[in-house]
Amino acid sequence: MVLDAMQNDPQGELRQAALLLLAEKDAGRKAEAVRRLSECGAPRLDSEALLQPAGAIPGQPERPLLVSPREVKKRAMHTVEGRAALIHALVHIEFNAINLALDAIWRFPGMPEAYYSDWLRVAGEEALHFSLLSNHLKGMGYAYGDFVAHNGLWEMVEKTRGDPLARMALVPRTLEARGLDVVPAMRARLLQAGDVRAAEILDIILHDEIGHVAIGNRWYNYLCRERGIDPIVTHALLATEYGVPPLRGPYNFSARRAAGFCEAELSELAGRGACAMNMAQSDTI
Ligand SMILES: [Fe+2]
Ligand SMILES: [Fe+2]
């Protein structure tokens, strides 16, 4: 139904279209439509409009059943079911990542045009990641919805709905940046278990996610400059205010550096005091 509305208005406005797609419940249809929207050039943009969702967002399929993170079991990599459970968890993260990129587009009016085109690019890439992983899951004999999942990523999107500064700080440059840290070890485990295709997909994802975190950094720093506040001090204050648990290593310093974190931030993360340190020795990839 959501997509029918978009098809009736192919020249529709970008932020309105992002809101419609966010409400779409069917994950496959959502991913497909987001890919099409991201590939259609430069859609019409009304960056000032104040929009309201017509119904519940995000649209979610009936399955997977959403549970608390504690109820998502870790499974052994030497069984197909165990590997499928891991791929399923990644499919769900990518589903939420499509939704978070769409939410960044419709939710916050008054940003420069490049902000919206950046997040449209992210949405398109998340939709690609979702499709690659869900097809791989199908090849293993499972489908999205066959395992339970947790919604930690979306919960932080919800918490930060009132302020694009908090959103940029805590979603792309905290939670998506966490993905940069954990993907290399996950890739190694899958490869060791013989899943070469999963490793190839994770290579694509890691490459693209560096870009997503860079976009988070770009707009976080833009908003800090606009408000005349210090990015490092502000990030720490926001993490406390919004209850982000302290990060733990190992960190992927080379990927974080490529995503635009400055040396002072990387040094602080490593807990080694400020600046003037060669971090290359600590790289995890
Ligand atoms: Fe992704
Ligand atoms: Fe991402």
The pLDDT, as a whole number, for residue 273 is: 39
| d(CA 183, ligand 1 centre) in Å | 11
pLDDT at 103: 98
pLDDT confidence of residue 12? 79
Tokens of 267: 């040094």
- Within a domain: 42: no
* Cα–Cα distance list, 200 to 58, 77, 132, 183, 188 (Å): 29, 17, 10, 12, 11
- Residue 17 is assigned to a structural domain of this protein: no
CA 42 to chain CA centroid, nearest Å: 22
Would you state the pLDDT for residue 2? 56
Q: Is the dihedral of CA 225, 169, 208, 46 positive or negative?
A: negative
Whether 27 contacts 130, CB under 8 Å: yes
Nearest C-alpha neighbor of 133 from the set 187, 105, 94 = 94
Domain containing 213 equals: 61-282
Q: Distance, CA 107 to ligand 1 centroid (Å)?
A: 20
Cβ neighbours of residue 14 closer than 8 Å, sequence gap 6 or more: 37, 43, 44, 45, 46, 105, 116, 120
Any idea what the CATH number is for the domain that residue 117 is in? 1.20.1260
Give a yes or no: residue 131 inside a domain: yes
The ligand with the least distance to the CA atom of 175 is 2
Q: Would 136 be classed as within a structural domain?
A: yes
* DSSP 8-class letter at 65: P
- Residue 144 structure tokens: 């999205």
> What pTM value is reported for the model?
0.92
Sign of CA dihedral 47, 169, 200, 143: negative
- Please list the pLDDT of the chain residue by residue as tens digits (285 residues): 556 666 666 567 999 999 999 999 999 999 999 999 999 877 899 999 999 998 899 999 999 999 988 888 888 888 999 999 999 999 999 999 999 999 999 999 999 999 999 999 999 999 999 999 999 999 999 999 999 999 889 999 999 999 999 999 999 999 999 999 999 999 999 999 999 999 999 999 999 999 999 999 999 999 999 999 999 999 999 999 999 988 888 999 999 999 999 999 999 888 843 333 333 323 222
Residue 3 domain flag: no
Count of residues for the chain? Answer: 285
What pLDDT, on the 0 to 100 scale, is given for residue 142?
Answer: 98
Q: Is 242 inside a domain boundary? A: yes
Return the number of other C-beta atoms located less than 10 Å from residue 156's C-beta: 20
State residue 219's pLDDT score.
98
Tell me: cis bond preceding 58? Omega within 30 of 0 counts. yes
Query: Is 21 part of any domain?
Result: no
For residue 94, the ligand closest to its alpha carbon is: 1
Residues with CB under 5 A from ligand 2 (ion): 97, 176, 209, 212
Q: Which residues surround ligand 1, an ion (CB under 5 A)?
A: 94, 97, 126, 129
Give 83 Cα–ligand 2 centroid separation in angstroms: 21
Give me the pLDDT at residue 123, please. 98
Q: Is residue 185 one of the residues assigned to a domain?
A: yes
Specify the number of domains making up the chain: 1
- pLDDT at residue number 6: 62
Spell out the residues 6+ positions from residue 195 whose beta carbon is closer than 8 angstroms to its own: 83
